[in-house]
Amino acid sequence: MTILSAMSQALFGAFVLMTIMGAFLAVRRSVMIMHSVLGLAVCMLGIAGLYYFLGSMFMSMMQVLIYIGALCVVLVFGIMVSYTPAEIKRRYITGKHMPLALAAGFFAVVPMGVMVFNADFQVNKGIPSGDIAPLGKMLLYKYCMAFELISMILLIAIVGSIILSKGGHVGGDESEEGGDHAQ
Amino acid sequence: MPSNEILIYLLLAIFLFAAGCYGLIQRRSFIRMLIAVELILNGAGLNFMAFSRFTAMEPDTGRAFTLFIMGLAATEAAIVVSVSLSAYRQYHTVDPDDVKDLKL
């Protein structure tokens, strides 16, 4: 029992470490863009593990599927089509707004840290079930409107991204020529 | 001060949010800004999951909202990648500071 508990603690620590290191790698200044995407993938894997520790296997799987399986592939695709090989290989990039960025990070940490440390929560001791049937019912009854709206937004985004990547022109013959010219 | 368990998740969420803000304002390319925005959204999602696990009456509410956040993040990624591609075609740059007018 103690060995299992220690292993669980170690795994939790590993996931926390993965999240922190991944986020650090993703926003570091001197890093190649592909390593940045890799950092994001590692960070998302760490968060998926934390979701498992929060009692939801389903959300953990969704995190891996959506972020690592879909989003990172979309990012790599975007890098492939809009970066020159020299830009992909470039390691040292001067961040232009360094003091501003540091200040933003600082002002994000301090008020929220104060808030968190002064908060007083009534913590549930029970472990929630990982059953996904109530979640499905909730999505289709209570939050049906939000669910449908997000589906609609996804559809609009797909159509919009097709139009944008086609060159920003749709419609008659003249604009199609424009689109070909842009390619 | 909240109990030890939830505190770890909340501090991690703050860290993700701060790292995202830092990366977003550094503004070196569209893709890097997108990565930073994903970190911010995941900080929010982690908060939702932590509160739904530790304090909510109904733990599935936080999960539903985290799913919505994931859907919005995927939508936003598709749009940003195509905007980045479009901007690269027009301006031959990936630096958002060089894209000054909104004409496409």
Q: Looking at residue B40, what is its pLDDT?
A: 94
* pLDDT tens-digit map of B29-63: 888 899 999 999 999 999 999 988 888 778 888 89
Render pLDDT for A65-96 as a digit per residue (tens, 0 to 9): 999 999 999 999 888 888 877 777 777 666 67
Q: With beta carbons under 8 A apart, name residues in chain A contacting B40.
A: none
Residues in B touching A83 (Cβ below 8 Å): 31, 94
Contact A95, A101 (CB under 8 A): yes
Q: Could you give the CA distance from residue A166 to residue A169 in angstroms, rounded to a whole number?
A: 7
User: How far apart are alpha carbons A179 and A121 in whole angstroms?
Assistant: 57
Query: What average pLDDT does the segment A15-24 reach?
Result: 94
Q: Which residues, in sequence order, are CB contacts of A157 under 8 Å at separation 6+?
A: B75, B76, B78, B79
Token pair belonging to A94: 């001067």
Tokens standing for residue A22: 């991944």
A121: nearest CB among B2, B73, B86: B2
* pLDDT number for residue B19: 92
Residue A167's H or E segment, with its range, is none
Q: Which residues contact B21 (CB under 8 A, 6 or more apart)?
A: A101, A104, A105, A108, B36, B40
Shortest alpha-carbon distance between residue B37 and chain A (Å):
11
Contact across the interface for A124 and B55, Cβ inside 8 Å: yes
Span of A43-52, A142-151, A161-170 with lowest mean pLDDT: A161-170
User: What pLDDT, on the 0 to 100 scale, is given for residue B58?
Assistant: 80
Rg of chain A (C-alpha set): 22
Residue contact B55–A165, C-beta within 8 A: no
ipTM of the complex: 0.90
Task: Give the closest residue to B58 by CA, choosing from A141, A158, A106, A119.
Answer: A141
Residue pointed to by tokens 């539903």:
B64
Residue with tokens 């040292």: A92
Chain B positions in Cβ-Cβ contact with residue A90 (cut-off 8 Å)? none
CA separation for the pair A77, A37 (Å, rounded): 11
Please give the structure tokens belonging to residue A173: 């013959």
Run of H or E including A30:
none
Q: For chain A, what's the residue count? A: 183
The pair of three-digit structure tokens given for residue B7, joined into one six-digit string: 């505190």
pLDDT digits (tens, 9 = 90+) for A39-75: 999 999 999 999 999 888 999 999 999 999 999 999 9
Structure-token pair, residue B101: 């007018």
pLDDT bracket for residue A177 (50, 70, 90): very low
Give the chain B residue whose CA is nearest to the CA of A94: B28
Buried b / exposed e across A51-72, counting CB within 10 Å, b at 16+? bbbbbbebbbebbbebbbeebb
Residue B60 makes CB contacts below 8 A (sequence gap 6+) with A134, A135, A138, B52
